[in-house]
Amino acid sequence: MTDLIPAPAAVDAPRGGGAVRLDAETTLYAAPGTETTANWLRTTVGPALGLPLAPGGADDGSALRLVLDDTLAAEAYRLSVDGTRGIELRGGSGAGVFWAAQTLRQLLGAEAFRSAPVGHGEDGGGWNVPAQVIEDAPRFGWRGLMLDVARHFMPKHDVLRYLDLLAAHKLNVFHFHLTDDQGWRIEIKRYPRLTEVGSWRPRSKWGHRASDLWNETPHGGHYTQDDIREIVAYAAARHITVVPEIDIPGHSQAAIAAYPELGNTDVVDTASLGVWETWGVNPNILAPTENVLRFYEGVFEELLDLFPSRFVHIGGDEAPKDQWKESATAQARIAELGLSGEDELQSWFIRHFDTWLTERGRRLIGWDEILEGGLAPGAAVSSWRGYAGGIAAAKAGHDVVMCPEQQVYLDHRQHGGPDEPVPIGYVRTLEDVYRFEPVPPELTEEEARHVLGTQANVWTEVMENRSRVDYQVFPRLVAFAEVAWSTTLPAPAERDFAGFESRLGAHFQRLDALGVDYRRPTGPLPRQQRPGVLGRPIEGAPPNV
């Protein structure tokens, strides 16, 4: 098959042809360690195609077999379709077998992406898979999507759907941006006001800064701790790690609105702050006090109980220091700690949580501002303000996730035309994303090993619902997934974008079957446009301001 996305490392089709037929009688043998894939095939692909996939034994000639193979790397797989031996998904771990199953679903055709059969099975309900052997493995171990559910809340079922979409593209990290100035989205039992107060705002800016339109419908919502457990378990069943983000010390107005003592009370009347209704960089950052540290330790304690992820994201971006400059409390803290100024105070704040997380067997990751004033040892960096932060961090021996805003911020408009809905930021087309290179040439091979991988980021100021998120994310995430996964892509300029586009034709049928509201190559459909709602269509302008 030539239309697999992301492109596998190698496909070998035997000259003799042949195929394996799957039908209602087909049994599925799952070796120990492959249960997630067996479950997923039975609950996802089986119902789509009318295949019960009853359990088979190791030696009874099951046409579909899932096995582990420790000669393969953990996420690598070999998918063999053999006219006499059947279909075997062989992975270096449960994850490798699962990624093989994602490839098998594509081989079965677009109908395998539906929820129930629509009657296109060959020969009365059977499905033929052409004989071939696919060898595959990912380029990066961190292949992520960050979703901002703070600016606009995404209901739980839509989050689960996004996890399905990540899995279908062999992405394995879901960076869950849970808190921001405009909303706090996770239940913290010991601080109920975080969601009672902090998860609702009375109205929202409609569009970006240039707009003066308001959506007067109150907006909000949050995930209960059981919702979070469900999301984490659903992700784990798809070999996706959920990395939670609690953004500190900036992007914290919703928390301060709920608990005014968290803010710089000697500078502003924090009791009069509500949850923020508009977008941009907010001056109301946390106070650098012991009480605030204790409060957030309480938040992180509950977080660690919910999220098994090794990495925990503490934000650290866009924390204006004006209030710390004015605050006698903050200045006294700087003096007491012998720090050189506010940047070092932020560094102290971040280091506190680095130590705290490390003591609990976790690792801190933060946006590249955490480099300013000295990066805590062991901390990892999400490089968003271009590559520079990531390069500096990798050269200093820190691990890095590359997500430069100029390349992979999917909130940015994907076309320069006048019909793009609420166009913000840079124009970054599908082809631009396809030609994105996560490892900059400035890094030596040794330094490049610190690039754990890459993620696309989706900030939702101008995406008020799932359909808008779909429009911004797809099909660019498809190109991104190939960049993050495929080991065979050449240097950006040499990448075969036309070839990718032609495979994308088949992929659009899969996305249609999944109900993804992607941007068509011809541009937004009339209902996908937002005439009159202004964005910030200034080439080169910083986003999110």
**What amino acid positions are annotated as catalytic residues?**
180, 251, 318
> Is 544 one of the binding residues for ligand ACM (CB under 6 A)?
yes
**Ranges within 6-35 binding ligand ACM (CB under 6 A):** none
Q: Which is nearer to ligand ACM, 65 or 175 (CB)?
A: 175
> Is 349 one of the binding residues for ligand ACM (CB under 6 A)?
no
Q: How far is the CB of 384 from ligand ACM (least distance, A)?
A: 4
98, 223, 324, 367: which one binds ligand ACM (CB under 6 A):
367
Q: How far is the CB of 393 from ligand ACM (least distance, A)?
A: 15
Residue 493 CB neighbour total at 10 angstroms: 7
Q: How far is the CB of 242 from ligand ACM (least distance, A)?
A: 18
Q: Which is nearer to ligand ACM, 184 or 384 (CB)?
A: 384
**8 Å CB contact between 76 and 95:** no
Say how far apart CA 509 and CA 59 lie, in whole Å: 37
> Is 471 one of the binding residues for ligand ACM (CB under 6 A)?
no
Say how far apart CA 110 and CA 93 lie, in whole Å: 27
Say how far apart CA 512 and CA 215 lie, in whole Å: 30
Q: Which is nearer to ligand ACM, 486 or 544 (CB)?
A: 544
Q: Residue 394: which residues within 8 A CB-CB, separation 6 or more? A: 400, 443, 447, 448, 450, 451
**8 Å CB contact between 23 and 126:** yes
> Is 3 one of the binding residues for ligand ACM (CB under 6 A)?
no
Q: How far is the CB of 506 from ligand ACM (least distance, A)?
A: 33
The residues with which 64 forms a beta bridge, in sequence order, are 28, 87
Q: Which is nearer to ligand ACM, 127 or 367 (CB)?
A: 367
HSE value, Cβ hemisphere, 13 Å, CA-based, for 114? 16
Q: Which is nearer to ligand ACM, 460 or 544 (CB)?
A: 544
Q: How far is CA 246 from CA 181, 256, 354, 496, in A?
A: 11, 13, 13, 39
Q: How far is CA 371 from CA 143, 246, 389, 408, in A?
A: 23, 18, 7, 21
| Strands 86-91 and 77-82, sheet pairing | antiparallel
230, 317, 372, 419: which one binds ligand ACM (CB under 6 A):
317
Total residues found in the chain within this entry: 545
* Cis check: omega of the bond before 32, within 30 degrees of 0: no
Say how far apart CA 253 and CA 449 lie, in whole Å: 37
Q: Which is nearer to ligand ACM, 182 or 486 (CB)?
A: 182
Q: How far is the CB of 424 from ligand ACM (least distance, A)?
A: 12
Q: Which is nearer to ligand ACM, 35 or 317 (CB)?
A: 317
Q: How far is the CB of 395 from ligand ACM (least distance, A)?
A: 21
Q: How far is the CB of 543 from ligand ACM (least distance, A)?
A: 7
| Position closest to ligand ACM via CB | 317
88, 111, 180, 318: which one binds ligand ACM (CB under 6 A):
318
Burial of 70-79, coded b for 16+ CB within 10 Å and e otherwise, reads eebeebbbbb
# of chain residues touching ligand ACM (CB under 6 A): 5
Q: How far is the CB of 496 from ligand ACM (least distance, A)?
A: 31
Say how far apart CA 145 and CA 120 lie, in whole Å: 33
Say how far apart CA 453 and CA 469 lie, in whole Å: 23
| Strands 132-136 and 241-248, sheet pairing | unpaired
**Ranges within 523-542 binding ligand ACM (CB under 6 A):** none
**8 Å CB contact between 328 and 266:** yes
No. of helices (H) and no. of strands (E), the chain: 18, 23
- Could you tell me which of 313, 310, 464 has the C-alpha nearest to residue 381? 313
HSE value, Cβ hemisphere, 13 Å, CA-based, for 276? 25
Q: How far is the CB of 222 from ligand ACM (least distance, A)?
A: 21
First to last CA, the chain: 45
Q: Which is nearer to ligand ACM, 302 or 317 (CB)?
A: 317
Q: Which is nearer to ligand ACM, 227 or 318 (CB)?
A: 318
Q: Residue 509: which residues within 8 A CB-CB, separation 6 or more? A: 110
Q: How far is the CB of 118 from ligand ACM (least distance, A)?
A: 41
**8 Å CB contact between 473 and 460:** no
> Is 384 one of the binding residues for ligand ACM (CB under 6 A)?
yes
Letter for the amino acid at 251? H
Q: Which is nearer to ligand ACM, 77 or 384 (CB)?
A: 384
Q: Which residues here bind ligand ACM, judged by CB under 6 A?
A: 317-318, 367, 384, 544
